[in-house]
Structure 1
Amino acid sequence: MKGPAIFLAQFAGDEAPFNSLDAITKWAAGFGYKGVQIPTWDARLIDLAKAADSQDYVDEIKGVCAANGVEVTELSTHLQGQLVASHPAYDRQFDGFAPPQLHGNPTARQAWAVEQLKLAARASRRFGVTSHATFSGALMWHMVYPWPQRPAGLVEEGFAELGRRWKPILDVFDENGVNACYELHPGEDLHDGVTFERFLEAVGGHPRANILYDPSHFVLQQLDYLAFIDIYHARIKAFHVKDAEFRPNGRAGVYGSYSNWVDRPGRFRSLGDGQIDFGAIFSKLTQYGYDGWAVLEWECCLKHPEQGAAEGAPFIARHMIRRAERAFDDFAGTGADKALIDDVLGLGDA
């Protein structure tokens, strides 16, 4: 595993040092981060179309990062991925994820999003990274709680359509040797293990359909985030290190009561302030040979983002595990000896 790294989306802004790639990577490196995950929708940090077509431009970005002591871990298309599949009920809200000239035109907006994902696949290859962070989008989220009863066949057709939209995109990722890693997230059709399996079936088990593991979203859903690793570790190709807590009470539970984040029973927290057992997570990912990056995604309803960033790098570093190269009891080994083995098993005279 590599790290610590930081997702820049929650920090980028119009004021220094958050308004340029050079300044923000210096800022991140100052806390001890070794890598940055770049949101491709933020023109202050990257020109995605240019990165897809120009190795010189990508080398320039890599050079800026290297000079400041970090490297690019992954690119992100969370906002564009959302628009690959979006129910019309959310059109007005999701228009803001696309350029102004596409507002009010869902068909053109979706076509733009698909092209953005394909550009991201090509740009990722130029950066030499093998994983990409994104969302699946959602055609069915408004149906997550079935009242009135869902029409028969709706879920099956929803996943079939999601597969039809994503399969050509995944093929481009495959052509470029990059894994598309879906952050399983409430609000997306892919939000847990079962929905990921249904999607995987819809895309024919596509080798580039993989997972960005973020345990915070599983805490808020009351899903076993450690057992999830045991089940899906082969598909986990990216990792957001984000904390959360779930403290239900007599008035509110999983759904949050339309409350602001600070008043919900389920809340995102800065690293170390929530309930997640990161020692167990890092141990399991190491056990299964995860060799990607550990990337802080800071989201907290209480703590200032810069304090969260400052505390995040040493937190991740403390949890990083250098994989053992030999067994702890090798010192007591007696070597390989066929005669000894047969004797110990009582097979010597057989």
Structure 2
Amino acid sequence: MKTMKGPGLFLAQFLGDQAPFNSLKSICGWAAGLGYKGVQIPTWDARMIDLEKAAQSKDYCDEIKGIANEAGVEITELSTHLQGQLVAVHPAYDEGFDAFAAPHVRGNPKARQEWAVSQVLAAAKASRHLGLDVHVTFSGALAWPYIYPWPPRPAGLIDTAFDELARRWKPILDAHEEVGVDVAYEIHPGEDLFDGATFEMFLQRVGNHARCNINYDPSHFCLQGLDYLAFIEHYHERIKAFHVKDAELNTSGKQGVYSGFQDWPHRAGRFRSLGDGQVDFGAIFSQLAVHDYDSWAVLEWECAIKNSMDGAREGAEFIAQHIIKVSESSFEDFIGQGADTSVARRSLGLER
């Protein structure tokens, strides 16, 4: 077994215009002061990293690493969640997702998609320059508006959507293979990859690509009523990143998993700060340890109730307490008799 790294912090939810949240140096120092040992960098914010420059220059990446290290943290992964979302966008979401794109491609879905692909490709090279083996992202979605089959979906619609999604991502996965970096998709409602079944549909279409992997976040499974521990058993070989985020699903006579179009504090399903929800993290950390997960445990803070500063402070302590320093020996070693076949045969009554 192996010991995972952490605690890490996804910086996206903490960026702002005021210090210490407005520069890489100051926010890394703030995170280190809370006890974080790593930071996951959102690549869409130029205050954190110039992604295109990072893809072109290892010297620049060495500078970025130096800033983080001097502040007391490592870089865990680069995130292209927003850009990955734009690799595949159903027209129903054009207006909403335009805000995720660079200004010069907004209002032009074709140009926006091409820009998004270039960004995710750049993340592969930048990750390698930074010495990172994994980068985290979203898959985007073409089929999501048809999640509930009423009216009945046209025959072949889902197959067509997943065929197209795979067609768009296969060259990106190949580019990551060339530089030895895994793509870890966050399995997330709103993406076409939102559970195990949909991940398998996509994985099959990209030829079981070695670089097609998972950013495991149990909060999204809790809100679907999906068994997040069994998910680890099914897909542990593909889990390459871990977002530590809590959630709760409190169904009632008025709301179920769809939560009745209510705002976040009043939803049946809502995200919570670590320890305030229903996710069994003790079991999750144990399962991941058993399956040799040795990458980062990264807090993604989202909570419908608690403020972010308390969530960040408590989250560092929570993750540190849950990381299992795995045993290097068995508790039964003191009575071990070694690999003696004669003892084994006598124990079985084969040498009477």
Interval containing the TM-score (normalised by the shorter chain): over 0.9
1:334, distance to aligned residue in structure 2 (A): 2.1
Q: Secondary structure at the match of 2:12?
A: coil
- Aligned with residue 257 of structure 1, among 257, 260, 281: 260
1:134, distance to aligned residue in structure 2 (A): 0.2
1:81 alignment counterpart: 84
Q: Secondary structure at the match of 2:13?
A: coil
With 335-344 and 94-103 compared, the bigger mean Cα shift is at 335-344
1:310 alignment counterpart: 313
1:324, distance to aligned residue in structure 2 (A): 1.1
- Aligned with residue 280 of structure 1, among 272, 279, 283: 283
With 340-349 and 144-153 compared, the bigger mean Cα shift is at 340-349
> 1:140, 1:338 → 2: CA distance?
58
2:25 alignment counterpart: 22
1:105 aligns with 2:108: yes
Aligned amino acid, residue 174 of structure 2: D
Q: Structure 1: give runs of 5+ residues left out of the alignment.
A: none
Map 1:316-331 to 2 at 5 A.
316-331=319-334
1:40, distance to aligned residue in structure 2 (A): 0.2
Q: Secondary structure at the match of 1:323?
A: coil
1:127 aligns with 2:130: yes
Spell out, residue by residue over 1:190-220, the C-alpha distance to the aligned partner (whole angstroms, 9 max, x if none). 0000000000011010000000000000000
> 2:23, 2:328 → 1: CA distance?
41
1:268 alignment counterpart: 271
Question: Aligned-pair RMSD on alpha carbons?
Answer: 0.7
TM-score, normalised by the number of residues in structure 2: 0.98
> 1:162, 1:211 → 2: CA distance?
16
Q: Secondary structure at the match of 1:10?
A: helix
> 2:268, 2:165 → 1: CA distance?
31
Runs of 4+ in structure 1 off by over 6 angstroms are none
> 1:337, 1:119 → 2: CA distance?
55
Q: Secondary structure at the match of 2:247?
A: strand
1:326, distance to aligned residue in structure 2 (A): 1.3
TM-score, normalised by the number of residues in structure 1: 0.99
Aligned amino acid, residue 94 of structure 1: F
Which structure would you say has the larger RCO, counting Cα contacts within 8 Å and 6 or more residues apart?
A: 2
Map 1:38-117 to 2 at 5 A.
38-117=41-120
> 2:138, 2:165 → 1: CA distance?
12
Aligned amino acid, residue 149 of structure 1: P
1:343, distance to aligned residue in structure 2 (A): 1.1
1:333 alignment counterpart: 336
Q: Secondary structure at the match of 2:95?
A: helix
Q: Percent identity among equivalent residues?
A: 65
1:147 alignment counterpart: 150
Aligned amino acid, residue 180 of structure 1: V
Spell out, residue by residue over 1:284-324, the C-alpha distance to the aligned partner (whole angstroms, 9 max, x if none). 00000001100000000111101100001110000001111
Q: Secondary structure at the match of 1:104?
A: coil
> 1:235, 1:100 → 2: CA distance?
35
2:187 alignment counterpart: 184
1:6, distance to aligned residue in structure 2 (A): 0.2
1:145, distance to aligned residue in structure 2 (A): 0.2
1:337, distance to aligned residue in structure 2 (A): 2.2
> 2:243, 2:257 → 1: CA distance?
22
1:225, distance to aligned residue in structure 2 (A): 0.3
1:347, distance to aligned residue in structure 2 (A): 1.0
1:300 alignment counterpart: 303
